Amino acid sequence: MSVFVPERKRSSRGELRVEGLLLAAARLFGKLGYHPVTTNAIAAEAGVSPATLYQFFPNKEAIADALATRYSVALAEEENSADVALLAKRPFAEAVAAIMKIVVVFHQKHPAFRMLLTEAPLSEGAMGEKHRLSEAFVGQLAEFLMMRRPTLAKAEALWSAEICLVILKGFLPQVAGRRTAERTRMIESMNEVMVRFLEPIVRAKR
């Protein structure tokens, strides 16, 4: 799949146009899913003509690619900015919930992200950013586990974090779209599953 890379040098008006198109696409993808949305619908949502849209993006796939890349980079930055040493000093269940909250809140703020990851035909570049996002989550969680149990082998910590990522991905679709009380209960259940899985791993063996 060919990747569309918008020109790096744009006028401030051009940057605003691109931002408006991406925000419009995010609203539609988050509400309707990837497949029903058309470039005409995105242009209408952004308040521009289809011709204007095509000045910046050749097709819907390019818009989805740009959005997915933006989201992956932004969430990875949030995960990497978490103070793992500080988290390691908090009560275990509380710390685990805080780590998961970074991802859950981001997905709640950006419902289009999950749609794009599961439905859009992303380019190699966007898939690379998605992979780096997964690495950021796994790396941070593994570091946290090793701080809680310094004798824990890195390979085991990474494997445990990978399993948690699988669990998290399974819960995210169930959290999306639920009413507040149900969503809260689902998140609490997810955190409980994580803690029950991780506690024996970080418990020091004597």
43 and 130 in a single domain? The answer is: no
Task: Let me know if residue 36 belongs to a domain.
Answer: yes
Question: CA separation (Å) from 65 to 8, 71, 158?
Answer: 16, 10, 29
Q: Which long-range contacts (CB under 8 A, 24 or more apart) does 151-155 make?
A: 151/204, 151/205, 152/201, 152/202
Q: How confident is the model at residue 12 (pLDDT cuts 50, 70, 90)?
A: confident
32 and 87 in a single domain? The answer is: no
Q: How confident is the model at residue 204 (pLDDT cuts 50, 70, 90)?
A: low
Higher pLDDT, 180 or 142: 142
pLDDT tens digits along 48-88: 999 999 999 999 999 999 999 999 999 999 999 999 999 99
CB 106 within 8 A of CB 78: yes
**Mean predicted lDDT score pLDDT of the chain:** 91
Q: Look up the domain containing 177 and give its range.
A: 62-202
Look at residue 206 in the predicted model and tell me its pLDDT. Answer: 42
pLDDT tens digits along 128-154: 999 999 999 999 999 999 999 999 999
State the CATH number of the domain containing residue 79: 1.10.357.10
150 in helix, strand or coil? coil
Look at residue 5 in the predicted model and tell me its pLDDT. Answer: 46
Q: 24, 32, 122, 16: which is closest to 68 by C-alpha?
A: 122
The tally of domains found in the chain comes to 2
75 and 143 in a single domain? The answer is: yes
Q: What is the largest CA-CA distance in the chain?
A: 69
Cα 25 to chain center, whole Å? 17
> What whole-number distance in Å separates Cα of residue 79 and Cα of residue 159?
18
pLDDT tens digits along 156-179: 999 999 999 999 999 998 887 777
Task: Let me know if residue 7 belongs to a domain.
Answer: no
Instruction: Tell me the whole-structure pTM to 2 decimals.
Output: 0.86
Question: Could you tell me which residues come within 8 angstroms of residue 16 by beta carbon, excluding any fewer than 6 positions away?
Answer: none
pLDDT tens digits along 97-128: 999 999 999 999 999 998 999 899 999 999 99
Task: Let me know if residue 72 belongs to a domain.
Answer: yes
Task: Let me know if residue 21 belongs to a domain.
Answer: yes
Look at residue 59 in the predicted model and tell me its pLDDT. Answer: 96
Q: What percent of the chain has pLDDT over 90?
A: 83
173 and 91 in a single domain? The answer is: yes
Task: Let me know if residue 183 belongs to a domain.
Answer: yes
Residue found under tokens 């988290």: 87
